Structure formats: structure tokens, C-alpha cells
Chain A
Amino acid sequence: MSLSHHAALLRDGRCPECAEPLTARALFGRGPCKRCGADPRTYGTTDVASRFEARARHTTWIVAIVAGLAELLIGWVPLADVVVALGIALWIRLAILRPAVSMLPPGRRLVTRGTARVLVGALLAALLVVSQLVTFLGPLGLPVKALLGAAEVGLAAMLVTRYVASQVEREAAGTPVEAAEIGLLAAMVFLLLGTAFAATYAVVSALSVVQEFFGGAL
């Protein structure tokens, strides 16, 4: 049997011999396949992290160039950056994040995916704010906006790639998820829930005041 078939199964997170999904331990060469007992190390699992990083680096360049071109072409349309940012966020998620996190066990996958999403969201939100400010430069601002967009998107993709690759490397080395990583993610979720609570309470209270003012007619 050719090595490429076994390697393709392994990249897909499946046993190279029985083709059933592998547990995280087996995928990273720390144990045999639970179903058939095959040893995935025979087919080489140690370069999972470097293979991912090489592929993701290629994607980073494409994402940065596309973001720059998109800003140059439609940057003059008010708030078009939002559409570009959403598209880029989706691209990073599908091309970089998803293939990598599918190789991780549930606990680390949860932490990695959550943190990376917040990282991408924060960086793209910063891009939106900066690019809106550059709009004040008028037509001259367009090339600046394109450069800024390409640089920031490139930076976001690079940071996400490095972060995810480091998680894949740590998993391969058998390093457990730190309590601080879980705490950071939990804090971010609490912040999101707190914001949802506060925003709803403010809106509902304001509506109650308006309703009271109109004598319950609303």
C-alpha cells in the first residue's frame, strides 16, 4: 500500500490502517489506534505541526494580498471594510483554524478555537476602527487603507497561525492545557454574557420608561 494513502488518512485524523477516527493520543503518536491496535508512529506523526505551519504560511500571504486588493477596490464605499473584514475572518477560520483544530483533542480544541476566534475578532475590529479614521484623508487615504488592511490582516493570520501551531506542537509534546488558558477563555465568555445582560437590561429599561410615559400604550 502506498504511503500517500496512509498519510492522507492520518492527516484526516484517521487510523492509517482501519481508517476509523483516531483518538488524540494515537494521532500524536502516544498510543496505538483503539480500534485495530495499529501504531500511527510507523507512518510518521511528528511533523504534524511543521506541516500545518508551512501550509498556513502560504495561506497568510494570499489572505494579506486579497485584503489589500479588496480595500483598494471597494475601500471608497462607506463601511465596505466590514464586509471585507467578515470575509477575511471567515477565510482565516476555514483555511487556517478549522483544519488545525480538528487534529487536537476536545479540551485543547475548545481552548484553541475560542482564543483564536477572539484574537481574530479583536484584530479585525482594530482594523475597522483604524480604516474608518483613514477615510478622513479622502482619495489619498485609499492606498494607505489598502496597505493598512493588508498589513493588519497579514498580522492577524500570522498570529493565529503561530498560536495554533504552538498548540499543535504542545499537544505533540504531551504538554497539558494550562489553567490560565482556560481561565482567560472563561473570563472572555463571562464578559460576553455580562455585555449581553447589560445591553438587554438597558434596552428593556428604556422601553419600560417610554411605555410608562405613553401610559402603557406601547
Chain B
Amino acid sequence: MTLALLGQLLGIAAASGTRATLTLLAVVLVARIGGGDVPEGLSFLTTNLGLAALVAVAVLDELIDRDPELQEIVTIGNIGVRGAAGAASAWGVESLMDGSLPESATWLLGAGIAIAVHLVRVRVLSYVPEGTGGLGPRTWIAWLEAGGVFGLIVAVFVAPLLALGFVLLGTILSVAAVLGARQMDRSRNRRVCPHCQSWARKEASRCPKCRNPLSVERRC
């Protein structure tokens, strides 16, 4: 396997972990417009009916992705969808570009990376407040993410090594984001309870763990 193909597979699987159906739609469109060979299992998606169905599912996927409650309802389903989309997208890209890798290896790589990206993303977003008084940080992140995924998909087909770079950089940034967000939450919003040493919010007048009274360090 070449470095370029590795970049393409990792890039498309990582994109699937964030925008599952949209990524698969991009792969199918490239196959249809470019006239490349997709695996027989995916050939239905390149037909008019398949494309229309994929667009409808992409709309549904986008609706779910922008609604925290819908995401809560379909938590387990979401993991399955990301994994399946990652496997199918990686399978399609590998078939379009090379076609020499064993199918099972492509599926495992695609599904594994997509699910891992999805789980890290959920963890990072849990530290981001939803916001009630304006365009909350989650809205900005969703827009940034959509732009990033679009750029990553373009890079997969136009500059595979750049896609590999994106994925490596994204991995480092995600780990840093998880650790940084937890640290920031503690340093900005919490203090140590003098009675039980657990982390209580600065606005609290009672420790949530030992229930002892605390002095309010920050007023609302």
C-alpha cells in the first residue's frame, strides 16, 4: 500500500466519522462523474434511485447531527451508521484508486477509523456548552467541522498526502482538545472542595459530592 492510498483511506474514513452519508455521497458522485469502478455491492448507489436515496439520508444525517436530542436518541445507531459509512466509503475509494487490498482489511480500517473519530468527537463536544443566548459554540463548531470535512474529502481525491497530513494533525488536535477542555473546565469553572477534595463549581454553595456547605467564589 502506498502512502497516498493510506492517506486516502484514512482521510475518507475520518470524514465518515464526522459526516457519514455526505462522505459516501461524495465517493459515489466521484465514481459516477469520473466513470470509475465501484465494488458491485455499492453499484446500486451510483444509479439515479440510489443517488436520490443517498441525498435523502444525507439530509436526515445532517438534521440528526445538528440536534443534540436526536443524537441522544440514536446514540448506538449513530455508531453503526458511522462505521458502515466508513467501511463503504473506504471500500469505494480503494476500488476507485487501487483495488489490490483485501476487502475485509479495507472494511475494518474504514469502520474502525470512522467509529474512533466519532467517539472522540462526542467526547470533545461533551465539554462544549450548548449556549442559550445566541449562536452557541456548538453552532460555530458544526460550521467549522462541515467546512473541514468538505476540505478533507476534496484533498482525498486531489491531494492524498495532504489528506494524510490533515488526519495526523486532526488526531493530535483532538487528543489535545479532550485534555485541554477538561483542564480548562477545571481551571475556569471549578475549585477543590476543602472537605472531600472533589471538583465543585465556583458558583456552588454546596459540594455535590460530600454535600458540605461551600463559599460561593463566583456569583451569577
Contact = CB atoms under 8 A, between A and B. Distances in A.
Interface of A: 1, 4-6, 8-9, 12, 14-20, 35-38, 94, 98-99, 102, 106-107, 109-110, 113, 189, 192-194, 196-198, 200-201, 204-205, 208
Interface in B111-157: 130-135
A102 B130 contact: yes
A197 B56 contact: yes
B60 to A, nearest CB: 6
Contacts of B133: 94, 98-99
A189 B63 contact: yes
B175 interface: no
B192 interface: no
Interface string B20-40: 000000000000000000000
The SS class assigned to the A binding surface is helix
Contacts of B48: 201, 204-205, 208
Interface of B: 48-49, 51-53, 55-56, 59-60, 63, 67-70, 72-73, 130-135, 200-208, 211, 216, 219-220
Contact of B67 (A98, A107, A110): A110
A5 B216 contact: yes
A208 B131 CA distance: 46
A18 B207 contact: yes
A189 B49 CA distance: 20
Contact of A36 (B49, B203, B211): B211
Contacts of B51: 200-201, 204
Contacts of B53: 197
27 contacts: A1-B205, A4-B220, A5-B220, A6-B205, A8-B220, A17-B205, A18-B206, A18-B207, A19-B204, A20-B204, A35-B208, A36-B206, A94-B134, A98-B131, A98-B133, A102-B130, A106-B68, A106-B69, A109-B69, A113-B69, A196-B56, A196-B59, A197-B55, A200-B52, A200-B55, A201-B52, A204-B51
